[in-house]
Structure 1
Amino acid sequence: MSFSQDLLTRAQPTMDAIMVHPFLKAIAEGNVPDDVLNYYVEQDEHYLKDYLTITALAVTQTDNHEDIAKLLDVAQFIGNESKAHEVMLGITGHQVENWRRGPETLLYVNHMYESAYRGTYADTLAALLPCAWSYEVMGRELVAAGANNEQNPLKEWIELYAPNDDSKSYTIWRFEALDREVAKLTPQQQEHVAQTFLLSLEMEWRFWEAAWVQEKWQFNI
């Protein structure tokens, strides 16, 4: 069993929990409360800016030409995710106001920055990977369940993340790159990479949860 295959086995319980989260169920039914959508978009705007920065850091950590080309393509896709936000804001009529980063958003991006600055290239890949992987799983399963029906106002949002031949190849590349990089590491370092991935995946669940419960800081500053 490869490193990534074992990692996905370990990650499955968390992914299962994401798929049954009330936010995801509401997306499938097309009835997410407006304040939840607004919170999600505001926080995701912050998150994606940091994700883009960390993707750029990953480019500086490798001399593999294919990886560099793929990472640059990833950066371009991140720019396209504004379409997903437009779908949600079109439902609520909300305008992005650059709210303060929420507690879970800050915790998540700090985890990714620490992985990129203090870890190996494999750690950076592992920190970034759960976002892309979990959204692909989510898109595929929601489409398979028929959630992208014409009555669902989030149909376009769901289909943006549903895998096609191109996006599928990118997921394969991400895990292949991770397998290649961890082969250079000691068992202890490999386990650190695994923990980096699993923590990012838990932070994905927490990101959904934070929007659903409207998590706020205790004090205004």
Structure 2
Amino acid sequence: MSLARRLWADSTDLAGATLAHPFVRGLADGSLPRERFAGYVAQDAFFLQAFARGYAMAVVRSPDRAGLEAFADLLAGVREELRLHDGYAAREDIALTGVEPMPATSAYTDFLLATAATGGLGETCAAMTPCMRLYAFLGQSLAGGSAAASDGPFAEWVTTYADPGFEQLAATLEELLDRYAADTPAVAAAYRRAMELELGFFESAWSGGERRG
């Protein structure tokens, strides 16, 4: 089993907890209140800008052309996600400028940027991979779970992350993790921490920031 696959397998408890979270279940059955989705979109757009900076730092630190090109492609994928959020914002009248990050959002972005700035490239991959793999897992799980997920008010969110193209982006980052990361406690800790912060982010979106991630 590859390192990326093993780290994911070691965090299936957090993946399952996220899939079962009321926010995610509300996306699946269409019952999520629109104001909570709007808050999530604004916070996620803020997060994605930090995520893009993490990829940019990985581009700079790539030791070979293959890594440089792969991280650049992943950075382009974030741009597409941000355009998706722009579409949500236009339809739902969500302000994406001047977003005040909730504590869970700040905790996640601070962790990502600190890891990308001070950790090795392998640790950076370990900190960023859970976001991609988890969202692919959520999208695919929801798309295969019920017709409401594919036809309801949040169908665009589900189909975006269930799309084979997004799965390929997640797999690319996992390949980079396997290429550049050593099987060390620091790498495992970075992966696990990112998974915890993902769950905290959804909890914050559900509770309106009342609970820290």
Q: Do both share a fold (TM > 0.5)? A: yes
CA distance in 2 between counterparts of 1:81 and 1:180 reads: 25
2:104–2:201 Cα contact (<8 Å) kept:
yes
Counterpart residue identity of residue 176, structure 1: E
Give the direction of change, closer, same or farther, for the CA distance of 1:173–1:110 in structure 2 (3 Å limit): same
Q: Which moved more, 1:57-66 or 1:87-96?
A: 87-96
1:42–1:98 Cα contact (<8 Å) kept:
no
1:11-63 residue CA offsets vs partner (Å, 9 max, x unmatched): 10000000000000000011211221121112112111111111100111112
Other-structure match for 1:148:
149
1:53-103 residue CA offsets vs partner (Å, 9 max, x unmatched): 111001111122222112111111111113432554466443335231111
Counterpart residue identity of residue 175, structure 1: E
CA distance in 2 between counterparts of 1:38 and 1:59 reads: 32
Other-structure match for 1:209:
203
1:43 pairs with 2:37: no
Counterpart residue identity of residue 200, structure 1: A
Stretches of structure 1 that go unaligned for 5 or more consecutive residues are none
Q: Within 5 A, what are the aligned runs for 1:12-161?
A: 12-86=12-86, 88-89=88-89, 92-146=92-146, 147-150=148-151, 152-161=152-161
Q: Which moved more, 1:70-79 or 1:170-179?
A: 170-179
1:130–1:201 Cα contact (<8 Å) kept:
yes
Number of residue pairs aligned between Structure 1 and Structure 2: 211
Counterpart residue identity of residue 204, structure 1: E
Other-structure match for 1:173:
172
CA distance in 2 between counterparts of 1:182 and 1:80 reads: 27
CA distance in 2 between counterparts of 1:84 and 1:199 reads: 27
2:121–2:181 Cα contact (<8 Å) kept:
no
1:200 pairs with 2:201: no
Stretches of structure 2 that go unaligned for 5 or more consecutive residues are none
1:87–1:156 Cα contact (<8 Å) kept:
no
1:14–1:205 Cα contact (<8 Å) kept:
yes
CA distance in 1 between counterparts of 2:160 and 2:194 reads: 22
CA distance in 1 between counterparts of 2:76 and 2:139 reads: 19
Shift of 1:204: 0.7
TM-score by length of 2: 0.90
1:30–1:153 Cα contact (<8 Å) kept:
yes
CA distance in 2 between counterparts of 1:102 and 1:197 reads: 22
Query: Which SS does the other structure have where 1:32 is aligned?
Result: coil
Counterpart residue identity of residue 171, structure 1: A
Counterpart residue identity of residue 77, structure 2: F
Counterpart residue identity of residue 138, structure 1: L
**Aligned residues: CA RMSD:** 2.1
Other-structure match for 1:3:
3
Quick one: percent identity of the two aligned structures? 25
